[in-house]
Amino acid sequence: MVGGGGEVCEGRVTPLDRPAVVASDQRRAADRAHQAPSAAIHGIATAYPAIRLTQAEISAKAAEVFGRRPDLMERMARTYGHSGVQSRHSCVPLEWYGEPHGWPERMRLFEHHAIQLLTEAGHRALSAAGIRPNDVAATVTVSSTGVVTPSLDSLVQAPLGLAPAVQRLPVFGLGCAGGVIGLSRAAALATSMPGRWVLFLCVELCGLTFRRDDDSKANIIGTTIFGDGAAAVLLRASTDAADCATVDAWGEHTWPETRDVMGWRIEDDGLGVVFSPRIPALIKAELKTVSDAFLARAGLCVGDLAGHIVHPGGEKVIAAIEEVYGVPPGGLEDARAVLSERGNMSAVTVLAVLEKALARGARGRHLMSALGPGFSAGLALLTLPG
């Protein structure tokens, strides 16, 4: 039904209701005119630890560490070659992975390297936009691979040169979906304070979660894909961002009773990885419906998109997403390139994909998506300039 009691049939409105519909359209147009502008991306940067490990080096180290289970490693050996990963960065040397480590050491390493990488990425993003650190009004900081108190956002304030009065939002536990959901939170903050600068910071040190005495399949799969890295994105909602990518809409979906699909277990010596073999099947069965509904709320469908910016969880995940979105096999080139060069850096990875897409001059509407613990999907609609 529409205002005035008429009916909408086959996309047409009865004459009785046309004045009411026109008035409604005018009200909506007026509302849109008074809405805050989309959050524009003025700077994006990534940072990686100096240590770079090849897949061959990691595979050999894993065979050594899990030598007590030759039958298991024989079954898992092919996984290293089929993961889509060629190299990764690590904040600790290869030898570290063969030694025992407890919570205190892991968290000391996390704090030190996280601050270092966030500071580097943050300075690069600010420099790219020509913005002084003390002009930043708010920060959103995402991580799921370490815990420190005071939180990371307060610990990077001084190294980054941020003002003491900066508003801070630390977010923990989003896992791989954190890159999209964190960017969405930063965009929401930016649109709530037009003209003010918001800095989104994200760091994941996945390598520090490796536990040498855990010979579960999930832990070994983690050794085939996990890498370390950080990213920073500088946003502002204003009317002078014609040459910037914009974050136009965002949403998320959590499937009930799926906690066992992805996440961390709290163990005596660190975080134990949870990876269900059902993930690719769940993507194929569930993601399209959720994505279509999100796009429909923006008045769009998949066919209206110029491309996709996706989190490359692994080779099987990328293949499943390509099938869901109707992308030819191998078509998600930016995601595959990041996976190959950097591995799966949890929440940071999709931001590295966005950086790569912008650097190569991608244009038009893009759907940004990532899947994480919950089991959850983070979605955002971006318009890339040009």
Tell me the C-alpha distance between 173 and 372, whole Å: 9
Number of Cβ within a 10 Å radius of residue 168:
16
**Whether the Cβ atoms of residue 196 and residue 138 lie closer than 8 Å to each other:** yes
Cα(first)–Cα(last) distance of the chain, in Å? 40
**Whether the Cβ atoms of residue 216 and residue 365 lie closer than 8 Å to each other:** no
Could you list the beta-strand ranges (E) of 303-363: 307-310
What is the per-residue burial (b if ≥16 Cβ within 10 Å, else e) of 178-204? bbbbbbbbbbbbbbeeeebbbbbbbbb
**Whether the Cβ atoms of residue 218 and residue 264 lie closer than 8 Å to each other:** no
- Among residues 80, 143, 44, 113, the alpha carbon closest in space to that of 372 is found at 143
User: Based on the number of CB atoms within 10 Å of its own CB, is 260 exposed (0-12), middle (13-18) or buried (19 or more)?
Assistant: exposed
Q: Which residues are catalytic?
A: 176
What is the per-residue burial (b if ≥16 Cβ within 10 Å, else e) of 329-350? eeebebbbbbbbbbbbbbbbbb
Q: What's the DSSP call for residue 283?
A: I
Tell me the C-alpha distance between 131 and 238, whole Å: 15
**Whether the Cβ atoms of residue 55 and residue 86 lie closer than 8 Å to each other:** yes
Q: What's the DSSP call for residue 312?
A: -
Q: What tokens were used for 144?
A: 């799921």
Tell me the C-alpha distance between 30 and 238, whole Å: 18
- Among residues 328, 349, 347, 330, the alpha carbon closest in space to that of 338 is found at 349
Q: What tokens were used for 239?
A: 């009317």
